[in-house]
A and B are shown apart, each in its own frame.
Chain A
């Protein structure tokens, strides 16, 4: 068995959508046909968190690990014939330097198993140290576990960054016969998918964290609240739960200790606000998912009014590592107040996008330039990064040197949140971005509290006025005023943070607002109503890209001459603006 060679295919949601299952099927069929199945094992692992379509690793004693990217089903036969049969890797398909660059700067702890092991296979998990932490924890006094978690400095990875150990302690101290553990897997921030990747790629690590938490606080029941839009994650979690019960890591009489802990999956129905812990609990209770006022905090009165420990997927996934390697090890990573690693979903105008797990304290610049590979378009400079999803803020490139640290980021008007990181370049309109995020939060507002329900809508309306060319100076005052009222007066985290995109862009990009309002101009060339669709000769390099991009024949260009736009033919599709690397169309 030991000498068996492995083919690892990444079959998370993104892999599957790129055809990974077909790739697996062809591999298996072909290996069977060639009677190679006794020597070759095809492993369906989760995703690694970067977009390279189908990723496969071929691990042989001779060549070690060889990584292929963008594998198509039609490539499989070639790989088998050249690499597997003849031992010569297919050069054309090998992962390029971007892949290496992307992983080089990462320190993967919670993602360490993702894309490496078959998520449903508990033996693979245990062989990599899985459930050892649970065994250790069950032999440890609960208070000591909590102490360990507290000392590690682990902070909640869901957004607020509350000290996990402290939360556990409060739950432990709350007096009640019944307590609950909830894993918040209602990952709702657009663009964030670290929780999905963990659940799909390493579900046992989350379960293990939950069981340890259950033991630590004295609970017998746990729930995983997972959004229904994650069918793969739910499927794999369910499979993981049943095998874990079979092996005695979950369910009745865990590891013969006499203590039992059940975990069930609850599917979220698609409301962003249900990621807010009190709303999430209302949803589990079968009520409309609306946040409740705190205090009482869930640790005192949570699900069904019982003390409840609620942590995010990534938080739970960290637990086994802390128990195994100790709090000192964990605390040695990161900054003074932000310990360990954090997974970010790097997206937007950078070369490499995907999940990056980096030690806290890494600078934004390092993430964007070293891991992300810098701007997607070499000639279009980066302008800002939106951190923390729709409720986060936009930080300008001048602040890229600040480290990723809960306090440092929030001081500047953004948040770490669940780890969304959207990079923007000069072609991104900051007013438009603010409008985009605000529209999202306004439509996801539950409607319970007045400022969030009405205020976000009114702010959205004003942003529409501005981006559509009807802006007034007083609109800026209005946005400032309402933004700060909504931020301060809203009932839950959604409202408290929803104005952030507007407030932070007002803070760092006020000139763009002014350009929209006073000059009726969108500097980034995004707001259609504010674009004249004229070539600016001072910026035009006569390259002709706009000419090639135009599908309606409106751009007139001859080699060596400035382009011209014939307004009679222009349909304002903005294809020329997209194509122009020099911001020469306005």
Chain B
């Protein structure tokens, strides 16, 4: 510790601190622009100059280390005068008023340099504004040449993308030969944007303070379960696959299922997509799940028994997830499932997408930590559970009832419902479906039905959807795969009547057109008058939606669609009863349901007297290496394509169609990551 005096104030500062650091720490502000806590000081803006007793001249406080006995003055008349002159010079070339919420603005306000400069001194720059690259803009007119961007890009990232060109008053920050950022292999980590104190470098998309994390690190913050995607991608690049899978397991107990069947909303928002194409995150996740050697089981911690009992009704992803985390917290957990096997709606996903063996493997892992399972039991009464000694109940019964269209002829035995078809295939029951088949609907169930049926029956398979491909809730990749396998899609068509003929069904249809957006935000389809036409089919499968089957005996409130009403903590209308998943929100996807299970587990734990903190970390936190280096052609590296089985071969059986990444593909793909998370660990200075 060094004893120093700043502006007459006696202070103690750590011996390796600079005067500026010590001063700021003590709440004495010294204006500065080029100094950044994460960067080596260069003392180029000269605003932080101070006077030190016994030392000649005006040293920059950012680069002068404290010494015992130093007497420092930050605000002598001479310093104030020079500082004002310096800011004055800075503004003499500035084309606009300093932008709000920037460090520059703060400095200018502090020095009080708001008066208009004499006309002989104001010479605004007229330099290019570079908007030609993704994600951020470089407006050289606003640049104050503090070199922060250059330093973080060179010294910390060691990518060396931006640098100074020309000299003296003509100095600018730009890329080599003013090339596009993509052409000089910019990593688009946007560290430069983060440290820019003037707004010369700025994000293309503006956002509020609240949205910051979401916009800067969208993958992790869009994932409903909040899986630390950037972290496991980095571990993948480093070849630390067990570490990587454990990062996923911190948040979810079904990584392999997700790797095969997640709708990966993360990829939609992946910022790599702005540069070239989004990272194939889910394919990497699947690869990691395939490498899982269960090392995590050794470090898995199950809290001591709490003596509390929780009943989970339903064993889909939300039920299983809640069971897992509640058990880890030491509660005694029992899963009730009305069907013979656990898994809920996951089991309806055809094997070519999600093999039953994967579901069984991961469910076995979950129940292996000491979860009771009661299958073939249908729970109607919640009170019955409480009477049996359960302290809390989680209703996760999914949405197992197919919706009906309500058109004439829908009751014909050759008109089937989608869930029935998938269920029968899933449980190996014979179903008598053949010939020309029409599937009605635009969700995943419709596409699963179509793709499944192409494998076992059918001459022709046609999917009718009343809107266009863009509005389909089925995953585009699934739709594309179906098309590859010969499924025909007719968009903007809806059946209005099914006429039973002895040999065939005549499906009378009408064409639709899109009108204004409806409550779901999608454009509402309306019939086109006089556009009726007829199709022939041997079978029609209706897959237009599902609803939960909530028994009235449960005595919990449901809305008019039959969905269970819960509050923000997922608590239903009855004490100790929580609900989540498709039974609350309607049909969605596995990752959303998993998050429902996580949230319910936390709420139930709190209800049972716990902290509500779920999950555990298997590997210690480590500081993310901020080094990036340079990689030729980085920006143009395309998303690696998932290897497929031959479409013709794949059509004859239910083997997995997507073959998955091998180690090389997984590492190569993970390496394309922009590592957006690194920006969040930079100390913020613009507020």
By a CB distance below 8 angstroms, the chain A residues around B81 are: 485
Contact yes or no, A444 B167, CB < 8 A: yes
Contact yes or no, A451 B46, CB < 8 A: yes
Contact yes or no, A456 B63, CB < 8 A: no
By a CB distance below 8 angstroms, the chain B residues around A468 are: none
Contact yes or no, B86 A450, CB < 8 A: yes
Q: Does A271 contact B (CB under 8 A)?
A: yes
By a CB distance below 8 angstroms, the chain A residues around B44 are: 293, 448-450, 491
Binds B, one of A102-110, A254-262, A474-482: A474-482
Contact yes or no, A491 B46, CB < 8 A: yes
Render B20-60 as a binary contact track against A, CB cut-off 8 A, 1 for contact: 00000000000000000000011111110100000001101
A488-B89 contact in complex given A288-B163, A458-B121, C-beta closer than 8 Å: no
Q: Does A443 contact B (CB under 8 A)?
A: yes
By a CB distance below 8 angstroms, the chain B residues around A28 are: none
By a CB distance below 8 angstroms, the chain B residues around A273 are: 167
Render A432-470 as a binary contact track against B, CB cut-off 8 A, 1 for contact: 000000000011111111110111111001100100000
Q: Does B170 contact A (CB under 8 A)?
A: yes
Q: Does A85 contact B (CB under 8 A)?
A: no
Shortest distance between the CB of B46 and any CB in chain A (Å): 5
Shortest distance between the CB of B165 and any CB in chain A (Å): 9
A444, A453, A474, A485: which contacts B171 (Cβ < 8 A)?
A: A453
Q: Give A462 to B120 CA distance when docked, in angstroms.
A: 7
Contact yes or no, A482 B85, CB < 8 A: yes
By a CB distance below 8 angstroms, the chain B residues around A451 are: 46, 85-86, 89
Residues 477-528 (chain A) with a chain B CB within 8 angstroms: 478, 481-482, 485, 488-491
Can you pick out 10 interface pairs between chain A and chain B where the beta carbons lie within 8 Å of each other? A293-B41, A442-B169, A447-B145, A450-B46, A457-B169, A478-B118, A489-B58, A489-B86, A491-B43, A491-B60
Q: Does A151 contact B (CB under 8 A)?
A: no
Shortest distance between the CB of A493 and any CB in chain B (Å): 12
Contact yes or no, A449 B46, CB < 8 A: yes
Q: Does A536 contact B (CB under 8 A)?
A: no
Q: Does B92 contact A (CB under 8 A)?
A: yes
Contact yes or no, B169 A447, CB < 8 A: yes
By a CB distance below 8 angstroms, the chain B residues around A456 are: 168-169
Q: Interface residues of A, CB < 8 Å — how many?
A: 36
Q: Considering the complex of A and B, which 3 residue pairs feature the smallest CB-CB distances, nearest first?
A: A447-B171, A293-B43, A457-B169
By a CB distance below 8 angstroms, the chain A residues around B118 are: 474, 478
By a CB distance below 8 angstroms, the chain B residues around A271 are: 167
Q: Which residues of B contact A (CB under 8 A)?
A: 41-47, 49, 57-58, 60, 63, 81-82, 85-86, 89-90, 92-93, 118, 120-121, 123, 144-145, 147, 163-164, 166-171
Contact yes or no, B89 A455, CB < 8 A: yes
A446, A450, A478, A488: which contacts B167 (Cβ < 8 A)?
A: A446
Q: Give A3 to B591 CA distance when docked, in angstroms.
A: 103
Q: Does A542 contact B (CB under 8 A)?
A: no
Q: Does A292 contact B (CB under 8 A)?
A: yes
Contact yes or no, A445 B46, CB < 8 A: no
- CB-CB nearest in chain B for A462: B120
Shortest distance between the CB of B148 and any CB in chain A (Å): 13
By a CB distance below 8 angstroms, the chain B residues around A489 are: 46, 49, 58, 82, 85-86
Contact yes or no, B43 A488, CB < 8 A: no
- CB-CB nearest in chain A for B147: A448
Shortest distance between the CB of B118 and any CB in chain A (Å): 7
- CB-CB nearest in chain B for A289: B167
Contact yes or no, B90 A293, CB < 8 A: no
A490-B46 contact in complex given A293-B60, A485-B82, C-beta closer than 8 Å: yes
Q: Give A449 to B43 CA distance when docked, in angstroms.
A: 8
By a CB distance below 8 angstroms, the chain A residues around B121 are: 458, 461, 478
By a CB distance below 8 angstroms, the chain A residues around B45 are: 449-450
- CB-CB nearest in chain B for A294: B63
Interface of B is mostly: loop
Shortest distance between the CB of B83 and any CB in chain A (Å): 9
B85, B92, B164: which contacts A288 (Cβ < 8 A)?
A: B164
Shortest distance between the CB of A182 and any CB in chain B (Å): 21
Contact yes or no, B85 A485, CB < 8 A: yes
- CB-CB nearest in chain A for B89: A454
A449-B43, A449-B46, A455-B85 known, 7 other contacts, Cβ within 8 Å: A271-B167, A290-B164, A293-B43, A447-B171, A451-B46, A488-B82, A489-B49
Contact yes or no, B63 A454, CB < 8 A: no
By a CB distance below 8 angstroms, the chain A residues around B60 are: 293, 491
By a CB distance below 8 angstroms, the chain B residues around A448 are: 42, 44, 145, 147, 164, 171
Contact yes or no, B168 A444, CB < 8 A: yes
By CB atoms of chain A within 10 A, which of B58, B85, B118 has the most? B85
A485-B120 contact in complex given A293-B63, A447-B168, C-beta closer than 8 Å: no
Contact yes or no, B42 A293, CB < 8 A: yes
Q: Give A271 to B167 CA distance when docked, in angstroms.
A: 10
A454-B90 contact in complex given A447-B145, A461-B120, A491-B46, C-beta closer than 8 Å: yes
A453-B169 contact in complex given A447-B145, A489-B46, C-beta closer than 8 Å: yes
Contact yes or no, A461 B123, CB < 8 A: yes
A453-B86 contact in complex given A293-B63, A475-B120, A488-B58, C-beta closer than 8 Å: no
Contact yes or no, B89 A458, CB < 8 A: yes
By a CB distance below 8 angstroms, the chain A residues around B147 are: 448
By a CB distance below 8 angstroms, the chain A residues around B89 are: 450-451, 454-455, 458, 482
Shortest distance between the CB of B30 and any CB in chain A (Å): 14
Q: Give A443 to B92 CA distance when docked, in angstroms.
A: 18
By a CB distance below 8 angstroms, the chain B residues around A462 are: 120
Shortest distance between the CB of A492 and any CB in chain B (Å): 10
Q: Give A447 to B89 CA distance when docked, in angstroms.
A: 13
By a CB distance below 8 angstroms, the chain A residues around B86 are: 450-451, 485, 489
A458-B145 contact in complex given A288-B164, A488-B58, A489-B49, C-beta closer than 8 Å: no
Shortest distance between the CB of B79 and any CB in chain A (Å): 9
A445-B168 contact in complex given A450-B44, A450-B90, A458-B121, C-beta closer than 8 Å: yes
Contact yes or no, B164 A445, CB < 8 A: no
- CB-CB nearest in chain A for B84: A485
By CB atoms of chain A within 10 A, which of B44, B60, B81 has the most? B44
Q: Give A485 to B81 CA distance when docked, in angstroms.
A: 8
Residues 303-325 (chain A) with a chain B CB within 8 angstroms: none
Contact yes or no, B92 A454, CB < 8 A: yes
Q: Give A491 to B166 CA distance when docked, in angstroms.
A: 18
A292-B42 contact in complex given A475-B120, A489-B49, C-beta closer than 8 Å: yes
By a CB distance below 8 angstroms, the chain B residues around A482 are: 85, 89
A292, A453, A485: which contacts B168 (Cβ < 8 A)?
A: A453
- CB-CB nearest in chain B for A457: B169
Q: Give A448 to B173 CA distance when docked, in angstroms.
A: 11
Residues 274-318 (chain A) with a chain B CB within 8 angstroms: 288, 290, 292-293
By a CB distance below 8 angstroms, the chain B residues around A293 are: 41-44, 60, 63
A454-B120 contact in complex given A293-B60, A485-B86, C-beta closer than 8 Å: no
Q: Give A444 to B321 CA distance when docked, in angstroms.
A: 67
By a CB distance below 8 angstroms, the chain B residues around A488 are: 57-58, 82
Render A406-427 as a binary contact track against B, CB cut-off 8 A, 1 for contact: 0000000000000000000000
By a CB distance below 8 angstroms, the chain A residues around B145 are: 447-448, 450, 453
Q: Give A442 to B44 CA distance when docked, in angstroms.
A: 16
By a CB distance below 8 angstroms, the chain A residues around B82 are: 485, 488-489
- CB-CB nearest in chain A for B123: A461
Shortest distance between the CB of B477 and any CB in chain A (Å): 48
Q: Give A450 to B60 CA distance when docked, in angstroms.
A: 13
Q: Give A499 to B98 CA distance when docked, in angstroms.
A: 28
- CB-CB nearest in chain A for B154: A287
Contact yes or no, B90 A447, CB < 8 A: no
Contact yes or no, B42 A447, CB < 8 A: no
Q: Give A457 to B89 CA distance when docked, in angstroms.
A: 10
Shortest distance between the CB of B17 and any CB in chain A (Å): 15
- CB-CB nearest in chain A for B58: A488
By a CB distance below 8 angstroms, the chain B residues around A458 are: 89, 92, 121, 123
By a CB distance below 8 angstroms, the chain B residues around A290 are: 164
Q: Give A449 to B146 CA distance when docked, in angstroms.
A: 8
By CB atoms of chain A within 10 A, which of B81, B86, B144, B169 has the most? B169
